[in-house]
Structure 1
Amino acid sequence: MRSTALQRFLFVGGAMLATGLLATCLTGTARATGTWASDPLNGNGDAVAAIGFWIANGSAALKRAVPFGPETYTPSTTWGPAPTPDGAPGSVAPAEAAGTVPGSGTSETITLPKTIGKVFFIDNQGKERWCSATSIQSAHRNVVATSGHCVYDPAATGQVMAEWVFIPGYFDGKTPYGIYAGKQAWTHAAFDAAEDYNRDFAFVNVYGGLRVTGKTQVTAAEYESFTGVKWTAADGRYYIATSENTGRLCDVVGGQGLAWNQPAEQVTLAFGYPAAPHPNGIKPYTGALPKYVYGRPANRAYLSADPVIDEHIGMLGNWTPGADGSPWMTRYDNTTRLGYVSGGVSLFVDQDRDGGFDLITSPYFDGETAAVYQQADAVPSGSVLGPNVS
């Protein structure tokens, strides 16, 4: 259900803000007029049910899910002036997973971060979908960064996706680090209210992770009285699961930093799961494994009439939908697998109109991005609790 009103956040003083700043080592000053919108995703009981939905029948729903993205958009872009920062540069430092020993040495190949994964959800048409995303550092170590259109459905203004979960390291139904159900979604008010792709980013608070360790077939009565993860099989049989809490997201996989009001042309790595075909039907990716693309975005804005954008930055790459929400990272350290998220894949562009995407774009992260993030930073989530979860 939608929140009753959009609220305006003043990025100044206050005990809540001060706590968040200290906890996440935030530097720089964000603009004081950022507006944000927020909606709940799953209550505690709903979170358990969402996890059950995705892992039922051998994770059938996870395996059925298809990429979600602007498949009908093939925007024509032109160049504009360089994006303009709205204040001083700022950042939040990345954080290792709890108990992690920092890596040492160097590598000639790119080491994929543990923080990236897929978000799964049901769109307004009832279809099982997924996007790319990453864990990001926060005071309560419980925030996921992705695209706004991977949280709020562009086809249903202001409506959040259903059964929203994040699975870091996802592969073929496997959940190596647990499943993290979404609790609260935060985005810029302009995206929530009007699908403004200039603000196509989102931060989501997630509950502590849950790992399913086994299943048992039970009677209908036993099923009804069970309060943990459970599901009904296609043949009508009832199953309940034994589960364990994995802990807070960043404690398990670490969290990337965040940076805003940065020079656009910094060396950038994007990590995600491209999967859909190009407009010409060629399908170079499967979405089964994460990929990366490396480049240096141009120091200019990309403009489009449909969808309307005038503040995106772009990087060369032949990625396709499925990579929506993939983090753009600067200052990426190949030994720690951590860097600073300074953007996220929003649109795919066929610049030369040959039927193949050759450019990925991202909103320019400025002080208003930081203001939305700071709202998510202040919110604790807790665990997915219940008598049948260890």
Structure 2
Amino acid sequence: MKRLLIPLAAVGLSAAVLAPPANAAPNWATDNLLPKPADAYGAAAFWLDSNGAALKKATQYNLDSKQVPKLVSSGSKGAPDGKPGMTGPTTTAKAGASKNVNLPKTIGKVFFLDSKGQYRWCSATSIQSRNRNLVATAGHCVYEHGDDVYQKWIFIPGYYQGRAPWGVYVGAYAFTAYDLDTYDDYDGDYAFVAVHNGFMLGAEKEVSFKEFKDFAGDKWVKPGEISASEFRKCVLNLGQCWSVGAKDAQLAGPDHPDAVVEKVEVSKQAYAAARTGRGQGFKFGEPIVEHLTKTQWQAYKGPGDKGTGPDKRGNYTVIHYYTQKWVKPGTERKYYQAHYILGIAKDMGRLGDVVGGQGFSWNQPLNQPVTVFGYPSAPHPDGDRPFSGVTPKWCAGKTGTKSWQVNTFRVETHQVLKCSMTPGADGGPWLLKYNNGKRTGYVNGVTSMFYDNDENGRIDYISSAIFDGETADVYNKANYAATKSVVGPNGELLK
């Protein structure tokens, strides 16, 4: 960890006077992402809505630099700041044999919104922890310029074309190096994110109005067309059936033998002023709560009550109020009955129990073999784009014998690897001792930056922060972060 230093001779003070105070800044920093289950549910619904449209719209993160940064040798061999250490991986994969590199089940993409509202993604991996809930990625894939965390941050292991085969894991708490959080210093460009239990959205279930009203998760009303005779049987249950016909339909009293009821949407105030019972302008059933995406909610202009923002559970809703309108049926008239639908989410459990977690290592010597995974997508500087970002790719080799500097991003000690992966692979794990059969290794870095060192218009090197004792401190803090389930056994949203 770098600190601003003052030459002793310039101020005439002894080293003892400049000793760090007992309350010196820690090596780590932490920030909340979405610790409340309701907010986590809303973030997942945002990304998964419309068959994953937002996921497919997202583009890879790009460094805030007009030119590809240059590597400068520091001449240092990356001396460790303490004893080397390792924590073993956990795995759900069965050991196997293959001549090809097997992709680990733990890798995936993180998705988030930046301050400009752009949909972005990076690479990441599940990493072992005591609560089986930790994701390792690049710090710049969680923190924007070291100032604040991104919005709607989620991790999808095994992501492929809008699909989440093992569920969506929403970030609850983020942990990173103090210097990245405070100074945007890329020597600490890594982050560990504690995520909630994963869950999937999918099945829907029709229920009674009472069950619908009491349900705390995703829900909506689906109209279903019925016959005139079915309508007459249903009309006694006012609030669940209605008709639609010509606008100039002749009004009638509710006791007229041919009369049918329509529903007319009104304001909350008009509904409150209406009487209860059967008759023109009387209340039509109970108010209906409609759940919308934030974009739909912002665009809504109808008479329903949209409130001033998300409710206490983080949902964007509009409450619709209706009164009765009794008319003679005439000819061109259709009849409808309300179907109350619940969106049933399924709890997938803890991340590490579902896909396993890679091990973690620190203070390891340089010039060691590593296997690096990621989802490269961006074109090379010359415009050629060999990677789609759809499927993960890999590089393997020995890291450099010395650490390197990148002046543009305050980097003084990065480890490097010869590799042609492009941005999109940001945050992907550098795995020591990768076991191709078990698909596990030890995370000893995460992809931070990309370089065209021979200036031929092609990315030829990538770099990572060196995982040292300070990285272990950050990891240890994240290791104790406790998270929870977002949905209950019946798909209900938990508090």
Amino acid at match of 1:65: A
Change (3 A) 1:229 1:323: farther
What amino acid does structure 1 have at the position aligned with 2:29?
A
The one of 37, 41, 44 aligned to 2:37: 44
How far apart are the structure 2 equivalents of 1:47 and 1:89? 37
Displacement over 2 Å in runs of 4+:
213-218, 221-241, 385-388
**C-alpha displacement at 1:69, in angstroms?**
2.9
* Cα distance in 2 for residues equivalent to 1:160 and 1:223: 35
Q: Mapping of 1:1-390 within 5 angstroms?
A: 35-42=27-34, 43-70=36-63, 72=65, 73-80=67-74, 81-97=76-92, 102-104=94-96, 106-154=97-145, 157-215=146-204, 227-229=216-218, 232=292, 241-386=343-488, 389=491
Q: 1:75 to 1:87 in 2, by over 3 A?
A: same
> 1:34, 1:93 → 2: CA distance?
26
1:214: Cα distance to partner?
2.4
Q: Relative to structure 1, is the Cα distance of residues 78 and 251 closer, same or farther in structure 2, using a 3 angstrom cutoff?
A: same
Q: Which stretch shifts more, 347-356 or 184-193? A: 347-356
Q: After superposition, give the CA deviation of every residue in 1:6-27 in whole Å (9 maximum; x if it has no partner).
A: xxxxxxxxxxxxxxxxxxxxxx
Q: Deviations over 1:116-155 (max 9, x none)?
A: 000000011111100000000000000000000000011x
1:303-351: CA deviation from partner (whole Å, max 9, x where unpaired): 1210121110100111111100000001011111110000010000110
- Could you tell me whether the CA contact under 8 Å between 2:347 and 2:489 is conserved in 1? no
Tell me the secondary structure at the aligned position of residue 82 of structure 1.
coil
Residue by residue over 1:250-307, the C-alpha shift from the partner in whole angstroms, topping out at 9 and shown as x without a partner, is 0000000000000111111001100011222111100000111111111101112101
**SS of residue in 2 equivalent to 1:372:** helix
Residue segments in structure 1 that go unaligned for 5+ positions in a row: 1-31
For the aligned residue pairs, the C-alpha RMSD in angstroms reads: 2.6
Q: Give the percent of matched residue pairs that are identical in Structure 1 and Structure 2.
A: 43
- Paired AA for residue 78 in structure 1: V
- 1:166–1:235 CA distance, 2 compared to 1 (3 A): closer
| C-alpha contact (below 8 Å) 2:346/2:487 kept by paired residues | no
Q: Residues of 2 paired with 1:296 and 1:77: CA distance?
A: 17
Give, in whole Å, the separation in 2 of the partners of 1:223 and 1:354.
Answer: 62
Deviation at 1:229, TM superposition (A): 4.3
TM-score computed with the length of structure 1 as normaliser: 0.85
Q: Deviations over 1:26-60 (max 9, x none)?
A: xxxxxx99611111100211100000000001110
Shift of 1:65: 0.3
Q: Which amino acid in the other structure matches residue 360 of structure 1?
A: I
8 Å contact kept, 2:177–2:474: yes
Distance (whole Å) between structure 2 residues aligned to residue 44 and residue 158 of structure 1: 24
Work out which of the two has the higher radius of gyration on C-alpha atoms and give 1 or 2: 2
The Cα offsets for residues 177-216 of structure 1, whole Å up to 9 and x where unpaired, read as: 0000000000011001111000000000000000112257
Partner of 1:332: helix, strand, or coil?
strand
For normalisation by structure 2, the TM-score amounts to: 0.67
Q: Which runs of no fewer than 5 residues in structure 2 stay unpaired?
A: 1-23, 220-290, 301-316, 318-340
Q: 1:301 to 1:178 in 2, by over 3 A?
A: same
Residue 92 of structure 1: how far off its partner (Å): 0.9
Deviations 1:64-98 (A, max 9, x none): 0000131525111111221110001001110123x
**Conserved? CA contact 1:152–1:158, under 8 Å:** yes
The residue type equivalent to 1:253 in the other structure is V
Moved more, 165-174 or 232-241: 232-241
Residues 76 and 388 from structure 1, CA distance in 2 versus in 1: closer, same or farther, beyond 3 angstroms?
A: same
Q: Distance in 2 between matches of 1:381 and 1:142?
A: 7
Q: CA deviation at 1:235?
A: 7.9
Distance 1:130 1:166 in 2: 9
CA contact (8 A) 1:51 1:229 kept: no
* Distance in 1 (alpha carbons) for counterparts of 2:213 and 2:460: 52
**1:385, distance to aligned residue in structure 2 (A):** 3.2
